[in-house]
Structure 1
Amino acid sequence: MSAPETQLAGFIARFTPDIAACGTEVLARLAARIPEAERLVYDNYNALAVGFGPDERASTVILSVAFYPRWVSLFFMQGAGLDDPHGILKGQGSTVRHVVLTQAGDLDRPEISTMIDQALVKAKKPLPVDGQGRLLIKSVSARQRPRRPGPDIG
């Protein structure tokens, strides 16, 4: 395992086994689906997020997987501009939308798979047509909320 992979595994290990397993499989499936994407890791205050984009800049990320204490979400960073005939996208901001994933297999649901394809096609900056993306640890917050649910996490 490379140093960034080892560091990411350590971040993921702080979550419950169910959340860690779901999120890890989601990351693996997306990395296999779009191997040319750079994977940017942000171990933030509220969540662990891994963005998939064409380069090292957070502003160009197309999809992001976020680990929370009770669920894993798939974020569409330009989701407000996507067609959502099934009404699966959550969020009301001017740009980002997301879906909560109950299991990694949710990526295979036609409405989610189609939304991923659409996000990749409509990206402001497309992914490279070939190559192998890298895993990059971009930031680690010194202060973080607990990664496992407890009585004080709602």
Structure 2
Amino acid sequence: MSDDAQIAGFLAKYAPAIVADLQVARAALTRLVPRGYELVYDNYNALAFGFGPTPRASDVVISLAAYPKWVTLFFLRGASLADPACLLQGSGSRVRSVRLSPLAVLESAGVQDLLGRALAGDAVAFGAAPALTTIVKSVSAKQRPRQPPGAGIAPAAAKPGNRPSRRDSP
């Protein structure tokens, strides 16, 4: 199966509004990062797209992650980024993030400045990289629901082959 077909399958698990936001944000980042590697991870918690100058996860500079109710932009070296507008969230030793809710936050001057700062340190490496290449790196067998509770996903007991448990009984 092609990477595009796999990604379409990953996206199909999400609510249409989240898919739309993720696609717009991903398109914006692919315009900003025309060279390098887009690494895709369909993990336990989220669907993530990381952008770096090499195919190594440790070289990812920025990433997008889709959750059931929002999309988040991550800066993998965000703790060391100057953030004059105080947009970055998080308190870890490395990573910071900006929740793209509403999606227009991505186009704000503050976030665009952060993206420019984050990518500037790797400009030479990105410049030497091939045209943006997408690679599906991992797919977790076990995943959290990709839509908010009650968003149309059938309960386990209603799926064919599942027997109701005592908890499902009145």
TM-score (norm 2): 0.83
Instruction: Report which structure shows greater RCO (CA 8 Å, sep ≥6).
Output: 1
Letter paired with 2:101: T
In the alignment, which residue of structure 1 is the partner of 2:138? Answer: 139
The CA distance in 1 between the partners of 2:137 and 2:78, in whole Å, is: 23
Is the contact made by 2:3 and 2:134 (CA closer than 8 Å) also made in structure 1?
A: yes
Q: Would the aligned equivalents of 1:23 and 1:72 in 2 still touch at CA under 8 Å? A: yes
Q: Which runs of 5+ in 2 are unaligned?
A: 151-170
CA–CA distance in 1 between the matches of 2:124 and 2:94? 15
Partner of 2:19: 20
Give the residue type in structure 2 aligned to 1:36: R
User: What is aligned with 1:72?
Assistant: 71
The equivalent residue for 1:38 is 37
Percent of residue pairs identical: 43
Give the 4+ runs in structure 1 shifted more than 4 A.
none
Report the Cα distance in structure 1 between the residues aligned to 2:35 and 2:51, rounded to whole angstroms. Answer: 9
Describe how 1:82-93 pairs up with structure 2 within 5 A. Answer: 82-93=81-92
For 1:41 and 1:78, locate their aligned partners in 2 and report how far apart those are by CA, in whole Å.
Answer: 19
Q: Deviations over 1:69-109 (max 9, x none)?
A: 01100000000000011110001000000000024432210
Judge conservation of contact 2:53–2:129 (CA < 8 Å) in 1.
no
Larger radius of gyration: 2
Deviation at 1:55, TM superposition (A): 0.8
Find the aligned partners of 1:125 and 1:90 in 2 and give their Cα distance. 28
How far the C-alpha of 1:58 sits from its partner, in A, is 0.3
Q: Give 5+ residue unaligned stretches, structure 1.
A: none
Q: Is the 8 A contact 2:62 2:75 kept in 1?
A: yes
> Distance in 2 between the 1:43 and 1:124 partners?
27
Structure 2 CA distance for aligned equivalents of residues 38 and 72 of structure 1: 20
Aligned to 2:109: 110
Report how far residue 121 of structure 1 moved.
1.0
The root-mean-square deviation of aligned C-alpha atoms, in Å, is 1.8
- CA distance 1:21–1:121, change in 2 (3 Å): same
Q: Within 2, Cα distance between the matches of 1:35 and 1:125?
A: 13
The 8 Å contact of residues 64 and 77 in structure 1, kept in 2 or not, is answered as yes
Q: Match of 1:142, as an amino acid? A: A
TM-score, normalisation: structure 1: 0.91
CA distance in 2, matches of 1:96, 1:130: 24
